[in-house]
Amino acid sequence: TIQATTEVITWSLDRTTFKTIMEKSAKGSNDKNRAFLDQVPILESLSDMEKMQLADALKSTTYAAGDVIIKEGDDGAEFFIVEAGEVVCTKTKEGVETEVSALLGTGSYFGELALLNDDKRQANVKAASETVTCLTVDRATFKRVLGPLENIMKDTKYVDKA
């Protein structure tokens, strides 16, 4: 039971209307994610069904400039695709943080090494632009849907072959 302590105006939706709104919202988000995935070069070899499964599983997270997205040495639980903005990758050597790649922008990805190699995070990744939006997918979905990309990632030397 909810009890108002001041005068209020309330709105209500019946179950069917609420369900319809939620389904349309989810479909719109999935359609947007699906269209975006078509623009990510590393994903071009995935089938339409695999891209739809991936689009369904993606979660969007926004970061502010300087926010740490992943930290070197942490356990890896997610794969990231930059939807908007830029990130910088660094490694800490003898207490000094050093950039280890060019800025990564829209369509770039990171976080795959820890998932593919069952290892700790190998670098820090921070938001470099005013805002960064990343699409993320958890380890289980990454392994199931993106498993076919493992050899492609290894061939492009993104994965430690040892």
Q: How do residues 18-50 score in pLDDT, each as one tens digit?
A: 666 555 655 556 777 888 888 887 777 778 888
Contact 67, 130 (CB under 8 A): no
Local confidence band at 80 (pLDDT 50, 70, 90 cut-offs):
very high
Look at residue 4 in the predicted model and tell me its pLDDT: 85
pTM: 0.72
- Tell me which residue has tokens 């926004």: 62
More confident residue, 84 or 17: 84
Paired tokens of 58 = 């993606």
More confident residue, 43 or 69: 69
Q: Reduce the DSSP state of residue 87 to 3 states and report it.
A: strand
Contact 127, 80 (CB under 8 A): no
Amino acid at 23: E
CA–CA separation, 64 and 45 (whole Å): 32
- Say which range, 35-49, 88-102, 145-159, has the weakest mean pLDDT: 145-159
Read off the pLDDT of each residue in 126-140 and give the average, rounded to a whole number.
Answer: 91
Read off the pLDDT of each residue in 80-96 and give the average, rounded to a whole number.
Answer: 90
- Tell me which residue has tokens 């040495």: 73
CA–CA separation, 80 and 114 (whole Å): 12
Look at residue 61 in the predicted model and tell me its pLDDT: 93
Look at residue 21 in the predicted model and tell me its pLDDT: 55
Q: Reduce the DSSP state of residue 22 to 3 states and report it.
A: helix
Look at residue 159 in the predicted model and tell me its pLDDT: 39
Look at residue 161 in the predicted model and tell me its pLDDT: 36
> pLDDT exceeding 90 applies to what percent of the chain?
23
Look at residue 151 in the predicted model and tell me its pLDDT: 60
Kindly report the average pLDDT of the chain as a whole number.
80
